[in-house]
Structure 1
Amino acid sequence: MNLLNFIPRKMAALAFIAVSVFSLTACGDKAPDKVMMNARTVGALGLFDATQWFHSGMYEQMEVQGEISQVMMKRKEPFVFKAKDNVYLVQAAIEAIDEMRPEVSSQPLWDQWPVLTRRTRYVYSEFETENQPVDVYEIYLQMSYKRYLVRFGVDVKTDAILPMGEAEEMRGGNDYEDPYLKIFDELDDAGTR
């Protein structure tokens, strides 16, 4: 994985994801004859033919809030992070924490690098640009007795980790954060600290 290929992301995507991430479903194994998708950076008028990515068996279409998404898709076999990838996951977490406002210190991560490979989950995929898919993952990070959700991407063509600059503290008590806290609890119960 190459740390030189970082792509800063806008927090606006976070709001869209927050509303829809728990209503995602895959649309089955059979892709239509032609699949038109939208690159995240292009907008609604930038549809392109992404059929090759679905017919190859790598991705399947997704339903988001009852409709087939032209932005988000599901990877059939997401990347599996190995011990050697941990340094890149920690670096992505540090960069996302450093971007948080109000400011949060990432010093605890520098002081004792956690093992994040078992606390990382695939969420969905999208096209960064035409025919440039990125798989989006979340790290369930515990730091200084607080819980943080960190999002990052993996460039499908190069396997480079693309920090999105997206991190948020999960406190709970609302419909958005409670499902994430449930995952934190499951990971803690499984001994993945």
Structure 2
Amino acid sequence: MKKMIANLASREKRVAVLENGVLRKLEIMPPQKRSTVGNIYLGKVTKVLPGMDAVFIDYGAERNGFLHRDEIPSFQQTKKTDGKASIGQFVHQGEKLLVQVTRDETGTKGAKLTGLIEFSTESLVYIHGIDYVGVSKKFKNDDLQKQWRETALQYKNADEGLIVRTSMENESEAVFLDRLTGLRELYKG
């Protein structure tokens, strides 16, 4: 059984992960270190690693970030037809990419990055670069859940992923469209 213990009361944050009573991970975040998770950067590919299907990205941090092939929008668009394609088909050294931090750098490892840029509100999540629709399983009404899936499919573009959250269950289609438009503009901004 996994268990997470967090000490967030002091200026130094500590998080431990225990698995069957054994410490598996300990992360200590000094007060001067701020998390960059969720931040978006324009980075430059510094090294392509075909054996790992990954690249290193210089996005302005102390260490280069790590981006796996599965987190690249162009791979996601071709995954259904060619799931075994090498990363070299999607990115090249020197290329600039928009990336988002999904895990801060720790120890000697750089941050983990994604090219699937995500923005969210309390009722809708917008992910650019992936063809996906999800609807919360916590909806109390199955018919509304199906209706929201159909609505999301109707309004999303091919390179967009949408997740309809539980708080959208009793909202109108106009509210959905307003939030979707706002998230699209935020991505373009």
TM bracket, shorter-chain basis: 0.3 to 0.5
Q: Which has the higher helix share?
A: 1
Give me the TM-score of the superposition, normalised by structure 1.
0.33
The structure, 1 or 2, with the larger RCO (C-alpha pairs under 8 Å, 6+ apart) is 1
Give me the TM-score of the superposition, normalised by structure 2.
0.34
